[in-house]
């Protein structure tokens, strides 16, 4: 026997032919032609192969491709190959990690934020990371005032305007500090200290926005769902908006509790509608003209953490309270085209790639259809479980983005999450303030990811009834 293959090593192989004996799956790269057939023999292949991490498929292709093939593992290799394998212990671990990262070790990420990004966007960024489009620099190295980055931020804004059909009388700002900073910036820019601002509190984020605004204006809660554990959204008839209120604030989608507006409230008179859209931004079409201001942290649905987008009607800019910090003054950022200081360049670049990807999929109408299909698949599984899984949110306001559900006991939920993690489904634990389970299924979550979760739910229930 020339040498036994260890499944823990990458073996450099160049045999003229290798026979396979035991069922398994392998993955390898080749620069020559090869095909599997009949007796599971392969001819003219080389470079290396390894055990994969649970993914498989059957392909036959020629040229410098990576192949993932259901087949068998060779029990014998030529002496030269075995010698090379034995001589490469320092090399093989690094190579294995690189290959797993590139070709199949990705988990199904249900995190609420930072969250899943489109795979093709990440790969695009990876391909441009070292030398952005022939500039000789990474996007992380170039000046934010240079022509290269100016083209990035300008294209990102143009694509966002296209996606949301943002009217010309609205400014688009790329800011920092997260949506939480806007809890302060909004009343500072839109109100005097004597103005009233109304708040509909449908969850934790709406409550935090109200509490922060009280420092800078007369904040008032006109409806709260706290008594019902934030499981609903009020009808228009339930609202008693303050006459003369400067704005009415809503959280369009509560990430923690999983409630989402399907129709936005009417404010009447001159009261502005202001919305925190952090967790459903660009998940569906929105009539921007109904709002005085929309803001969203990027890290839930459109990019990595670090950038916050503010869409504000231009006539509202330039009225900030005198005590407003310079970095919270919309006028400063508008006049400087979001470049008053060094912006989060890489995060803006990534958002731009996401915007382009959403346009290539057909825009937000197409994205909404996909999101509805995914959410229905998951909610149908919950509702069909005969109470084994329970969603606390009223059906007419269930979020398309964040799906919370509970089980009989916290111990059972913990076991469910543990078994899901073992199958590559991660970040399913509910927010620390409410517990339970939460699946965040943002734009970038493929339908196959939701199908995997539903399959796990059904199998888990079958074992515990």
In contact, 298 and 308? CB cutoff 8 Å: yes
CA contacts within 13 A on the Cβ side of 247: 27
Candidates 418, 425, 419; CA nearest to 459 is 419
Cα dihedral 302, 307, 312, 314, rounded to 10, equals -130
Cα(121)–Cα(107) distance, integer angstroms? 16
Cα(457)–Cα(379) distance, integer angstroms? 12
Cα(119)–Cα(190) distance, integer angstroms? 39
Catalytic residues: 205, 276, 300
Cα(40)–Cα(34) distance, integer angstroms? 11
Cβ-based neighbours of 390, under 8 Å, separated by 6 or more = 382, 405, 406, 407
What is the distance, to the nearest Å, from the Cα of residue 19 to the centroid of all Cα atoms in its chain?
44
In contact, 191 and 258? CB cutoff 8 Å: no
| Maximum CA extent, the chain | 89
DSSP 295-311: EEEGGGTTS-TT-EEEE
DSSP 144-209: TTSHHHHHHHHHHHHHHHHHHT--TTEEEEEESSHHHHHHHHHHHHH--TT-EEEEEE-SHHHHHH
Stretch (H or E) spanning 452: helix 447-463
Alpha helices, H only, 191-314 = 204-213
């Amino acid at each position: 026997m020339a040498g036994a293959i260890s499944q823990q090593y990458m073996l450099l192989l160049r045999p003229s032919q290798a026979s396979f004996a035991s069922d398994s799956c392998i993955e390898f790269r080749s620069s020559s032609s090869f095909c599997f057939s009949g007796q599971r023999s392969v001819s003219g292949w080389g470079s290396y192969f390894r055990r994969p991490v649970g993914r498989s498929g059957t392909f036959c292709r020629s040229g410098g491709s990576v192949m993932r093939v259901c087949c068998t593992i060779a029990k014998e290799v030529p002496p030269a190959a075995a010698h090379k394998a034995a001589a490469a212990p320092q090399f093989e671990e690094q190579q294995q990690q690189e290959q797993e990262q590139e070709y199949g070790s990705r988990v199904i990420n249900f995190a609420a934020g930072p969250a899943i990004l489109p795979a093709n966007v990440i790969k695009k960024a990876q391909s441009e990371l070292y030398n952005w489009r022939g500039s000789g620099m990474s996007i992380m190295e170039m000046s934010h005032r240079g022509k290269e980055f100016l083209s990035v931020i300008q294209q990102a804004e143009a694509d966002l305007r296209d996606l949301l059909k943002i009217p010309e009388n609205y400014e688009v700002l790329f800011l920092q500090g997260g949506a939480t900073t806007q809890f302060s910036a909004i009343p500072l820019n839109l109100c005097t200290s004597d103005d009233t601002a109304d708040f509909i509190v449908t969850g934790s984020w709406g409550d935090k926005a109200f509490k922060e605004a009280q420092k800078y204006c007369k904040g008032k809660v006109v409806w709260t769902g706290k008594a019902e554990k934030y499981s609903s959204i009020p009808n228009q008839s339930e609202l008693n908006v303050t006459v003369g209120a400067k704005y009415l604030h809503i959280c369009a989608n509560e990430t923690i509790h999983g409630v989402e507006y399907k129709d936005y409230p009417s404010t009447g008179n001159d009261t502005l509608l202001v919305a925190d859209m952090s967790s459903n931004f660009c998940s569906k079409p929105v009539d921007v003209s109904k709002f005085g201001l929309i803001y969203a942290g990027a890290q839930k649905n459109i990019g990595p953490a670090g950038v916050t987008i503010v869409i504000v009607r231009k006539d509202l800019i330039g009225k900030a309270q005198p005590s407003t910090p310079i970095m919270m003054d919309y006028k400063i950022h508008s006049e400087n085209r979001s470049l008053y200081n060094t912006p989060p360049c890489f995060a803006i670049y990534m958002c731009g790639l996401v915007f382009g990807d959403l346009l290539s999929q057909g825009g937000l109408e197409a994205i909404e259809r996909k999101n509805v299909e995914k959410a229905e698949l998951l909610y149908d599984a919950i509702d069909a479980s005969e109470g084994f899984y329970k969603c606390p949110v009223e059906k007419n306001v269930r979020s398309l983005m964040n799906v919370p559900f509970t089980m009989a006991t916290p111990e059972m939920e913990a076991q469910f999450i543990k078994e899901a993690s073992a199958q590559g489904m991660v970040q399913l634990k509910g927010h620390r303030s409410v517990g339970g389970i939460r699946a965040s299924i943002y734009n970038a979550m493929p339908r196959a990811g939701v199908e995997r979760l539903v399959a796990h739910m059904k199998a888990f229930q079958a074992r515990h009834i």
